[in-house]
Amino acid sequence: MPQPQIITESNARQKTLQWLESLQSNGYRLTSSRRAVVEVLATADQSLTAADLYRIGLERHKRLGLVSVYRTLEKLEELGLVQRVHRPDGCHAYISALEGHQHLLLCESCGRVEIFRGDNLKEFSRRLEGASGFEIHEHWLQFFGLCSQCH
Amino acid sequence: MPQPQIITESNARQKTLQWLESLQSNGYRLTSSRRAVVEVLATADQSLTAADLYRIGLERHKRLGLVSVYRTLEKLEELGLVQRVHRPDGCHAYISALEGHQHLLLCESCGRVEIFRGDNLKEFSRRLEGASGFEIHEHWLQFFGLCSQCH
DNA sequence: AGAGTTATTGAAAACAGTTTTCATTATACA
DNA sequence: TGTATAATGAAAACTGTTTTCAATAACTCT
Ligand SMILES: [Mn+2]
Ligand SMILES: [Mn+2]
Ligand SMILES: [Zn+2]
Ligand SMILES: [Zn+2]
């Protein structure tokens, strides 16, 4: 089994520009509301709920509406730029999309997210298909705990 | 890595009796509503939402209320007899609680659930703790696909 | 730059899932 | 069998999310 490999954050400002460009080049207009949501989420090191994004986004765009947060997330998800994470409490949050096959490590206290590779589940998955008769399409692997700053 | 081990269903009727007895011995009264919910969920081989349980439970107890479904699930969860599963679509369903360290394989089409052991993630988890500085408390491992009857 | 087109916005209403309130009913137990 | 009270279901309340719609702002084309 390979060592887990922590993925380092790529430059957050660059990510912001990429997301805005991606929205634009897909025919979406660049508005203050979208800018606010993108700037907050692309530079975050934590998973954020729609309500989080609304609250923080208001500091950048005073007239921001919660509805636009949802609509922007919808577009970003459709473009493969962000993804939803499911939390044990049942609440949904968003993070930058994972690239390729990666998995998550989430802080139960502050929401910090670490991304890693190296789970080596492909082999296990194939055996599970044989044993169960299922045709397996995807898997979730998420670890939960306390980050170094929270314990 | 060990072979994945599919857990076979223990006798469903016996499970029903155990759950009812557990409710009773913890000071909860045995009512028609509780009986209906327990009988349906303890004998199911699929994950069921509160709405599913209400719909199916009505066939056993004509006056069943959705509220009692939620309240019964609350008690069963508290007693460690059932647990929630999170689906990609964000919807919550319930199954018999896993015993010890087990994981899930869910059919995306019909909701059928298989339980397995053998993920061997303890070693991986320890390495991840070292690499990330997190103190890891739990993990989710769920596979999704189509069961043999659905593909 | 200005005018025209239309995508996007936010307020409000609607909706889905879940929880709370409360007067009535059913269970357990003496 | 009667009594105390846990449990019930209808309705209201609440939370997270989506839809509706008239007003606005972003892009395009002179
Ligand atoms: Mn994996
Ligand atoms: Mn495991
Ligand atoms: Zn933390
Ligand atoms: Zn199936």
Query: For tokens 């929270």, what's the residue?
Result: A150
Pick from A9-13, A119-123, B72-76: least confident? A9-13
Residues with CB under 5 A from ligand 2 (ion): B 119, 121, 141
Mutation target vs A (from B128, B135, B148; most A CBs, 10 A cutoff): B128
Q: What are phi and psi of B39, to 5 degrees?
A: -60, -40
Q: Which residues does A50 contact at the CB level (< 8 Å), separation at least 6?
A: A66, A69, A70, A73, A92, A94
CB contact under 8 A, A86 and B86: yes
Distance CA A9, CA A26 (A): 25
A4 vs A52, residue with greater confidence = A52
A98 vs A81, residue with greater confidence = A81
pLDDT of residue A146: 93
pLDDT of residue B2: 42
Residue A120: which pLDDT band, with cuts at 50, 70 and 90? confident
Among A3, A139, A147, beta carbon nearest to B141: A139
Residues A24-78: pLDDT tens digits? 999 999 999 999 999 999 999 899 999 999 999 999 999 999 999 999 999 999 9
Residue B3: which pLDDT band, with cuts at 50, 70 and 90? low
Q: How many beta carbons lie within 10 A of that of residue B25, not counting itself?
A: 9
Query: For tokens 């998995």, what's the residue?
Result: A103
Summary mean pLDDT of chain A? 90
pLDDT of residue A1: 38
Distance CA B106, CA A149 (A): 35
Residues B35-92: pLDDT tens digits? 999 999 999 989 999 999 999 999 999 999 999 999 999 999 999 999 999 888 888 9
Look at the domain A7-145 and name its fold.
Arc Repressor Mutant, subunit A (1.10.10)
Q: Which residues does A127 contact at the CB level (< 8 Å), separation at least 6?
A: B3, B4
What is the number of the ligand closest to the CA of A151?
A: 3
- Which B residues between 66 and 125 have a beta carbon under 7 A from any strand C atom? 66-67, 70-71, 74, 91-92
Whether A137 has a pLDDT exceeding 80, the answer reads yes
Segment B84-105 mean pLDDT: 88
Whether A100 has a pLDDT exceeding 80, the answer reads no
pLDDT of residue A70: 98
pLDDT of residue B35: 98
pLDDT of residue A6: 59
B128 vs A119, residue with greater confidence = B128
